[in-house]
Structure 1
Amino acid sequence: MSGDTPGVPDEETLALAHALFDAAREGNDALLGRYLSAGAPATMMTAAGDSLLMLAAYHGHADTVRLILAHGGDANTANDRGQTPLAGAVFKGYTEVVKALVDAGADPDAGTPSARAAAEMFERKDILALLG
């Protein structure tokens, strides 16, 4: 809308962003893929700093994680609390997501706590083996 504050998204843009965040949480690859292919940034973040990749990883959607990574998502971007997508996937025990992120170069020692520390804390030996 004209007259809006420069740099502040309008309601339509905010609604689209929320729809894309929901698509990442829900593993809605069809919707998310259309927008990413059309140029929506794979690195967009919520107000709390959670990226599309973080949302997909934390909710266990390995195919969505791979989709976002293929469109330029950063496997090592931490949210405002210092948590990485890999650490979120480790915390939740999503082995397939962990594999996808490690394959994309996610650093198991990045973030607070790191993915490695989370795997050790929760005694996830299967995941620790994936972290190298």
Structure 2
Amino acid sequence: MPVNLTDGKGDSLLILAAYNSQPEVVKALIERGAELDQLNARGQSALTCAVFKQDEESTRMLLEAGADPKLGPQNALAVTEMFDLPQFRAIIEEYL
């Protein structure tokens, strides 16, 4: 199965794993070379989804792997403001 496979909404396997708070799958996909900054049809990345779901483990893995917190119209930094998640903003700022 292609590591960057997407569904009809543009959700990649990595985006779906992050959105469903599955850090072990996020890690496996990163190790297999999944595109970190792929955006879905709503302009969301896997990092955006991990932050939205408040999954610290996946958030840190994605940032450590080089995911861009400023990418896309619904980016991870914007999500920290929109949903009042200062602890996740602080995590992101550690990697900027």
Instruction: Tell me what 2:37 maps to.
Output: 76
Structure 1: distance between partners of 2:32 and 2:74? 27
CA distance in 1, matches of 2:79, 2:12: 20
Q: State the shift of 1:67 in Å.
A: 0.2
- Pick from 51, 54, 63 the counterpart of residue 90 of structure 1: 51
Misfit runs of 4+, over 4 Å? none
How far the C-alpha of 1:48 sits from its partner, in A, is: 1.1
Which residues of structure 1 form unaligned runs of 5+? 1-39
Identical pairs, percent: 38
Counterpart in the other structure of 1:16: none
Counterpart code for 1:96: E
* Greater relative CO (CA pairs within 8 A, separation 6+): 2
SS of residue in 1 equivalent to 2:30: helix
- The number of residue pairs the alignment matches comes to 93
Let me know the Cα RMSD of the aligned residues.
Answer: 0.9
Question: What is the TM-score normalised by the length of structure 2?
Answer: 0.91
- Write the deviation string for residues 34-81 of structure 1: whole angstroms up to 9, x where unpaired: xxxxxx211111111100000000000111101001111011100011
2:80 and 2:86 in contact (8 A); partners too: yes
Matches of residues 45-64 of structure 1 in structure 2 within 5 Å? 45-64=6-25
Instruction: Tell me if the contact between 1:75 and 1:101 (Cα under 8 Å) persists in the aligned partners.
Output: yes
